[in-house]
Amino acid sequence: MKTRALLVAAALVAFTGSAALAESIQHGNLTIKDAWTRATPPKAKGGGAFVTITNNGNEDARLTGAVSNYAKRTEIHEMAVNDGVMKMRKLDEGVVIPAGETLELKPGSYHVMFMGLNQPFKMGEELNVTLEFEKAGPVDVTFPVMKMGAKSGKMHH
Ligand SMILES: [Cu+2]
């Protein structure tokens, strides 16, 4: 079954004056929102992207992968502290979003990882990344590029 992504919050952009974070996508039982990434230094080899996924269904969902044209490989990663050392690793099985729960991909935790960047990400640009889910299938998500080192996608005025 093909599911069509639905843009539900476009009007919010004009209202808040902030283009970032306004997009909320309904994809099967999933709500995908607050997608963002950040500018990378000129010689950076990698970059991360972040998004919040709510599973409104009564079965667990799984984010199995991501596809983009911005890097040699686009992967799902986890960052975690092991023996006091912050390390990240590729999640070959992806990441589960339990039924009824919200998973936030964020710095220092789960993230979409771009390995071997084709070119640096620049603030103000947008990335188009396809997120792949086990049951719901693929969905295209827009990731606004925040400033270098940003800790979240929230913009304050
Ligand atoms: Cu990573």
Query: Beta strand 30-38 with 137-146: parallel, antiparallel or unpaired?
Result: parallel
In the reported structure, the alpha carbon of residue 17 is separated from the centroid of ligand 1 by a whole-number distance in angstroms of 31
In the reported structure, the alpha carbon of residue 27 is separated from the centroid of ligand 1 by a whole-number distance in angstroms of 25
The arithmetic mean of pLDDT across residues 55-63, rounded, is 98
Domain boundaries defined on the chain? 6-146
From residue 6, give the alpha-carbon distance in Å to each of 107, 119, 138, 140, 157. 27, 30, 13, 11, 28
Fold category of 6-146 in CATH: Immunoglobulin-like (2.60.40)
Question: What is the distance in angstroms between the CA of the first residue and the CA of the last residue of the chain?
Answer: 42
| CA 74 to the chain's CA centroid | 11
> Tens of pLDDT along 3-16?
444 444 343 334 44
In the reported structure, the alpha carbon of residue 11 is separated from the centroid of ligand 1 by a whole-number distance in angstroms of 33
| The pLDDT of residue 9 | 38
> Tens of pLDDT along 65-80?
999 999 999 999 999 8
User: Among candidates 74, 71, 116, 68, which has minimal Cα distance to 94?
Assistant: 74
In the reported structure, the alpha carbon of residue 34 is separated from the centroid of ligand 1 by a whole-number distance in angstroms of 19
